[in-house]
Structure 1
Amino acid sequence: MASASELLIYCLKPYFNVKLIGERTYGKPVGFFGVNIDQYIIYLSSFLIKIAQGWSVYFTRMELNIPVALPYNPIL
């Protein structure tokens, strides 16, 4: 799971009893914009994502409620 999914889950947690089922998450409460410099594009942390309660510390992944190994799909 990537940062957009984690943000959605953390926004719902104060209001709902959210359960996380699946594989580990990545944890990344920051976002990026590409900056063109000559023939290169660099990506620097441009913003920090916080939920309404001001919490933003999910660099270390989210805890799973029920771990489930998802099947590998080489097409994705």
Structure 2
Amino acid sequence: MSVEEVDVDDKGRVLIPKEVRDKVGLKAGGKARMKVENEKIIIMPPISPEEFIEEMEGCIKEGTSKISPLKLKEIWETVEKQE
């Protein structure tokens, strides 16, 4: 894994080099996910509806959810189309 040094502007913005964006699939004007882990900032491409459903599988137990996983998928896909 290579380390890139980037500038942080006075508003806290960081420019991710084009080569890095292309490598991980980040699109200009698109969305990204970010988390802090062990004092490191991790920036990831947005999660697809299929990946989300896979991550949530087993987390929602039958009879405990107020919304069905299929309805959640439908909502997610509607949001994706609007972007």
TM over 0.5: no
The TM-score with structure 1 as length reference comes to: 0.24
The TM-score with structure 2 as length reference comes to: 0.22
Structure (1 or 2) with the greater helix fraction: 2
Larger radius of gyration: 2
Structure (1 or 2) with the greater strand fraction: 1
